[in-house]
Amino acid sequence: MLAEKYAARIDQIFSKYPTKRSAVMPLLHLAQEEFGYVNEEAIQQVAVLCDMDPTQVQSIAGFYTMYSERPKGKYWLQVCTDLACALRGADKFHKELKEHLGVEEGGTTEDGLFTVEHVMCLAACDKAPMLQCNFHFEENLDMDKMKARIEAWRAEAAAEKSGAKKASAKTKA
């Protein structure tokens, strides 16, 4: 349960506002962090916390684009292809990135690591092409830099996986 696991953080969020409802967006962000996406459980728990109807919480989750209602890859790559970035090659970059990873728009690689989609302006027009990976900005990109980043993320994911295996082996021992 979010309420127990993140009690201090939730209290801190509620302390900012005179109404419980104002906390719905920060709590949906927290739930997405916990569950990887905004699933039914997230909706229910946030509704209880904010004293709202689950339908109202669902409508908030559906309205704002940063809440995902489907699972995403471990690395959620959102490429800005808006006008200012497109004038500096963002459409081409976006297309090549999808080809490199072998995914369609909005698709996730078979290993579950990467989801690629395009997004609207991210306020980084002077550093195009750019993308956000799990909401962190990666800027001044080209495909060579991108391929190196992808390899680094793959290595990071593999290290985490083997680390987790070792940890569970230790627990068993």
Partner 1 sequence: MKTMNIIYREKDIPNIREYDVYVANGGYDALKKALGQKPTEVIDTVKASNLRGRGGAGFPTGVKWSFIPQSEPIKYVVVNCDESETGTFKDRQIIENNPHQLIEGALIAAYAIQATAVYIYLRGEFWDQAFDLDARIEEARKGGMVGKNIAGSGYNCEVYTHVGAGAYICGEESALLESLEGKLGQPRVRPPFPANKGGGLYGEPTVINNVETLANVPWIITNGPDAFKKIGTEQSAGTKIFCVSGNVEKPANYEVPMGTTIRELLFDLAGGISGGRQIKALLPSGGSGPIIRINGNDDPILDTPCTYEDIAAKTGSILGSASFIVIDETVDITWVASKVTKFFKHESCGKCTPCREGTYWLDKTLDRIMRGEAKESDVDLIANVARNMQGVTLCALGDFAANPIIHTIKNFPEDFKSHIGAAKTPAAPKTAAAAGD
Q: What does the per-residue mask of binding to partner 1 show for 17-56, with x meaning CB under 8 A?
A: -xx-xxxxxx-xx--------------------x-x----
Q: How far is the CB of 103 from partner 1 (least distance, A)?
A: 19
Is 101 a residue that touches partner 1 (CB under 8 A)? no
Q: Which of 83, 152, 158, 164 binds partner 1 (CB under 8 A)?
A: 83
Closest CA to 114 of 159, 161, 153, 66: 153
Q: Which of 92, 100, 149, 154 binds partner 1 (CB under 8 A)?
A: 92
Q: Which of residues 151-170 bind partner 1 (CB under 8 A)?
A: none
Tokens of 20: 């419980």
**Torsions phi, psi of 166, nearest 5?**
-60, -45
Cβ distance to partner 1 smaller for residue 2 or 50: 50
Q: Which of 34, 69, 82, 138 binds partner 1 (CB under 8 A)?
A: 82
Closest CA to 89 of 24, 25, 141, 21: 141
